[in-house]
Structure 1
Amino acid sequence: MSNTQRPWLAHYPPGVPAEIDVGAYPSVVALFEEACERFRHRPSFSSFGRMLSYGDLDRLSARFAAFLTGDLGFAKGDRIAIMMPNCLQYPVALFGALRAGMTVVNTNPMYTARELRHQLQDSGARAIVVLDNFAATVAEVLGDTAVERVITTGLGDMLGFPKGALINFALKHVKKMVPPYRIDGAIRFDAALARGVRHPAPKPALGHDDIAFLQYTGGTTGVAKGAMLTHRNMVANMLQAAAWVGQNVAAGEEVIITALPLYHIFALTANCLVFMKFGALNVLITNPRDMPGFVKELAKVRFTAITGVNTLFNGLLNTAGFDRLDFSRLRLTLGGGMAVQRAVAERWKKVTGCTLAEAYGLTETAPAVCINPLDLAEYSGSIGLPVPSTDVSIQDDNGRSLPIGEVGELCVRGPQVMKGYWNRPDETAKVLGADGWLHTGDIARMDERGFVYIVDRKKDMILVSGFNVYPNEVEDVVAQHPGVLEVAAIGVPDEHSGEAVKIFVVKKDPNLTEEDLRKHCHDALTGYKRPKYIEFRDALPKSNVGKILRRELREAAARA
């Protein structure tokens, strides 16, 4: 694509290049090792007041890598699942696994047994690192998977004495947040680090084509698929985003608030990798849903950057004390994962003095595709301009590129586009053409300056607090209830989460109640996937071939 077909280049912020040099780093590990060398004495991650320097992270992750290869005998390319919220163990396990040449399978700690079983079976993970709070779920499915080793840890295990011991005691015995479990042969995380000292740190040859992450997503269907994100994909997107924000940050001086979970691709790339390149401190927020507690944590640090989804920013703005925080150093607020609402963006600017810049990405693009210029005076309603080395095309149903201003499917091509879906060539072929264009399924238009505007999302996907919910999965679960004849799931507007799940049910058993269905869904679906609204109907609208028409249900819900 020529520069005349890349109108966005003429409107790039000062200092942002048209292209990045993806060959600058052969792997994510090379970036990590450079950061640890350059910023060895700077703080890298903090949690509950405990700080790890880049030197600490280097040393501990090397031990974990040595444990994986020297003690357990794992090899390059083996998969390891990490099932933890934001805590200090996460970056140690993450970079340890990558340094061992393994592929990280990021796993949502809130998964139900059904969801976890599928992901572990599909990925073929040989090991899993899990926080005690969620180990009971692992214990339930372990026998159905290829997992050979389980490494367990308590939230307080890396926080030092007595704080760590007090936190672990409170979680288990006071708050009752650690269900009892038994996993024969499980190894404690601190014991793994101690055992790693006995072995040399591995140095596998890693290149651009090696898979760094299996990042699970529903894509356009309800069956979770692992997007194969290579070291090239991750390095490219890190460099693309770093080039975009580089004029707004100062190496070794940044403090970024990481409230989105690091197992989510947005925080993984934007917070962990991009800001690691700048030697930043990532302040890990373990439970951002506790908004008063979150604001108390923010009051302890003069932060320079924060990322989040619309619901997170809205929640902070509506929490007592937030408007009294010190925002004097805040230079970067980046919103993604779901549409940023104008009212939230305008209020954020008024309270903090910092523009909330919207970005757009996908799991399949590691994730950044478009980012707004950070010097925007106010919210624009656009998802921004394509990042360096990225082509964006608005295409019709026949794959033809449409003129400026016309509405079509947003397609993306660039070094950050995934290798494909793990063991799913059929699903890969549906979205990724031989010409390199990834079909996002999102409907958009581009203006004459190259700014992209999302007109509509994937037609059926529901976006709850930045997480994709796929109607097929919800419907499959509900349909398993013996009292259900037919079911359809849609997204409806929700002031707290952007959208919420609503299901329409035709009863098979006339005695079926809302409570029956809520209990059924509670056991099989993670919280954000569970229906918030349930409506019983005598029949569902269908096409002439019997396909349920969700569009008509959405229109009816909008009129209600």
Structure 2
Amino acid sequence: MTTDQVPVSLGERIRGLAQEKPHTVALSFFPCDGERQDLTYAELDRRSDQVAALLLRHGVHAGQRVTIGLRNSPEHVVAALGAWKIGAGIVTMRWDVPQWERDRLLEATAPAAVVTDHADPTAAVPVIDIGVAGDLPAHPVDITPPAQPMAIPTGGSTGSSKAVVLPVPSKITPGAAFGGNYAMFGIEPVQRHVVMAPLYHGNPLMMLHCGLFDGQHILLLEKFDIGLLLRVISEDRPHFMTLVPTMMRRLLDAPGIDEVDWSCFHMILHGTAPCPQWLKRRWITLVGADRLWEIFASSELVGSIIVRGDEWLDRPGTIGRPATGTELRILDEDLRDVPTGEVGEIYMRLAGVEKPLFDYLGKDKPKVIDGGYVSVGDLGRRDADGYVYSADRKDDLIITGGANVVPAEVEAALSEHPAVADVVVIGVPDDEWGHRVHALVQTELEQPQPTAAELIAFARQRLTTYKTPKSVEFVARMPRSDMFKIRRSALAAERA
């Protein structure tokens, strides 16, 4: 094993990169208002040393956790690096989370301190202003590998406060943190990598730091902003980015989107929610079938299902086949394997891993069966060639008149209407049907406004009768998170 193949701690990796190429830009930050900021590896190393010193001053030590409650920013990145240098793990949190939810999350995760953009001397848990770190000497700290580097909050289907401790190793092999994705997807290594989703989510957090540890140039946006993203694509020519279907839809509505030069990308990856077929086809036309990939995975990192655009065109609607190293079963309620083509609950595990590598902070736990297979509540079916088709989340399934309706299928049909900007379908109590299919619709203001009857008729042309919405509710803005996720169960409960 050569020197560059010897596993090193996360803190040691950043320090090593700072020594190898101190003047190379590692992170470019693009705020919505203001000038871009370029930070070299030497600057990341120095600033994270200052954060490490600040945490030590507040009594944080190896084996404890630090909560980071910051917007996408260089400060978020150096806060994580500083915590890892002293052997502490991090828990991410929204910077603007309401106090009630914040208190529940802190109780579940028990951090030693919270790092944010202000101090709060009255808080039960020390709240540290990261801005103070800039006043401290940048003496290199003694580096200790963190036992559990990373945890992210997840409400899952229950909404309870908990966090998943991701199975991130305390030491990494240089060049291999993000590099496994190259082999899995069969793409060339990337150098410039766009991150624009909020860093309190697992995917962007993992992608950013793995890319950083592999020596990539990270292009970090304060948030998903169409104008800002298109400028970065034009000027910085990135090789890789991830999207969710709502981002994909909104980008298609941007003026001049068909003239954007996408040739710089080796790969564009989308996931987190079902993608309507019409939207997928538009993006395949836009960027090329060989560069658009879809991934189905969970925060627990128990495996993934992937598909490239040209495979998808051969099997429209599939989410792909299990990636190398992923084992998958589809089971009924009695935990028996369902026949090919039938819908069941999706269970996955990493090959040969009979005990899950992740952990949960909080009371709620995922469903784990013998052999280490894990379910996070998604339904699906598999064809004779092993390709999987998602059937939405188990908890979101609508049973109306004894028939099962998958919300994503109804949403996909309604989303084809030119006046529909966003749509969410839920089941609400109904005296006749048990539950009726109910659509919440946000309209495009520039389009003629449809009536509820028009949208129902539009859906009826595309869906069987029992799947067609029986009622439509117009909303000014869909209550999606910064990651464009939405909790159908909460919307249904409000209307019940």
Same-fold status (TM-score > 0.5):
yes
State the 1:533 CA deviation: 7.7
2:264 paired residue number: 329
Counterpart secondary structure, 1:224: coil
Q: Residues 36-435 of structure 1 correspond to what in structure 2 (within 5 A)?
A: 40-48=22-30, 49-69=36-56, 71-131=57-117, 143=122, 146-152=124-130, 189=131, 191-197=132-138, 199-206=139-146, 210-232=147-169, 238=178, 240-245=180-185, 247-250=186-189, 254-269=191-206, 271-288=207-224, 290-353=225-288, 355-365=291-301, 369-373=304-308, 376=311, 378=313, 380-414=316-350, 417-424=356-363, 427-428=364-365, 431-433=367-369, 435=371
State the 1:312 CA deviation: 0.7
CA contact (8 A) 1:79 1:125 kept: yes
Structure 2-normalised TM-score? 0.72
1:458 paired residue number: 394
After superposition, the C-alpha distances for 1:273-298 in whole angstroms (9 at most, x for unaligned) are 4433542222112132x433443343
Give, as a single letter, the amino acid of the residue that structure 2 aligns with 1:281: H
CA contact (8 A) 2:52 2:82 kept: yes
* Structure 2 CA distance for aligned equivalents of residues 76 and 95 of structure 1: 13
After superposition, the C-alpha distances for 1:448-493 in whole angstroms (9 at most, x for unaligned) are 333222123232389xxxxxxxxxxxxxxxxxxxxxxxxxxx9984
* Structure 1 CA distance for aligned equivalents of residues 301 and 233 of structure 2: 31
Higher alpha-carbon deviation: 404-413 or 453-462: 453-462
State the 1:343 CA deviation: 1.7
CA contact (8 A) 1:502 1:534 kept: yes
* Structure 1 CA distance for aligned equivalents of residues 68 and 430 of structure 2: 36
1:499 aligned onto 2:424: yes
* Structure 2 CA distance for aligned equivalents of residues 392 and 29 of structure 1: 35
- Say if 1:91 and 1:195 are closer, same or farther in 2 by CA, change over 3 A: same
CA contact (8 A) 1:127 1:148 kept: yes
State the 1:31 CA deviation: 5.5
- Say if 1:229 and 1:248 are closer, same or farther in 2 by CA, change over 3 A: same
2:383 paired residue number: 447
- Say if 1:456 and 1:146 are closer, same or farther in 2 by CA, change over 3 A: same
State the 1:29 CA deviation: 4.5
Counterpart secondary structure, 1:215: strand
State the 1:110 CA deviation: 3.7
After superposition, the C-alpha distances for 1:197-245 in whole angstroms (9 at most, x for unaligned) are 2x54131144xxx222221111331212111224339969856434314
Question: Number of residue pairs matched?
Answer: 415
* Structure 1 CA distance for aligned equivalents of residues 231 and 424 of structure 2: 28
State the 1:534 CA deviation: 9.1
- Say if 1:216 and 1:284 are closer, same or farther in 2 by CA, change over 3 A: same
CA contact (8 A) 2:327 2:348 kept: yes
State the 1:303 CA deviation: 1.8
Give, as a single letter, the amino acid of the residue that structure 2 aligns with 1:348: W
- Say if 1:388 and 1:66 are closer, same or farther in 2 by CA, change over 3 A: farther
* Structure 2 CA distance for aligned equivalents of residues 432 and 37 of structure 1: 44
CA contact (8 A) 2:89 2:150 kept: yes
CA contact (8 A) 1:126 1:146 kept: no
> Which stretches in structure 1 are left out of the alignment for 5+ residues?
1-22, 153-188, 463-489, 507-517, 541-560
Structure 1-normalised TM-score? 0.64
- Say if 1:498 and 1:321 are closer, same or farther in 2 by CA, change over 3 A: same
* Structure 1 CA distance for aligned equivalents of residues 29 and 294 of structure 2: 27
- Say if 1:40 and 1:342 are closer, same or farther in 2 by CA, change over 3 A: farther
Give, as a single letter, the amino acid of the residue that structure 1 aligns with 2:55: L
Higher relative contact order (CA 8 A, sep 6+): 1
Counterpart secondary structure, 1:46: strand
State the 1:334 CA deviation: 0.2
Counterpart secondary structure, 1:263: coil
State the 1:267 CA deviation: 1.1
Give, as a single letter, the amino acid of the residue that structure 1 aligns with 2:333: D
* Structure 2 CA distance for aligned equivalents of residues 148 and 127 of structure 1: 5
Q: Which has the higher helix share?
A: 1
After superposition, the CA RMSD in angstroms is: 3.9
* Structure 2 CA distance for aligned equivalents of residues 62 and 52 of structure 1: 15
The percentage of counterpart residues that share the same residue type is 25
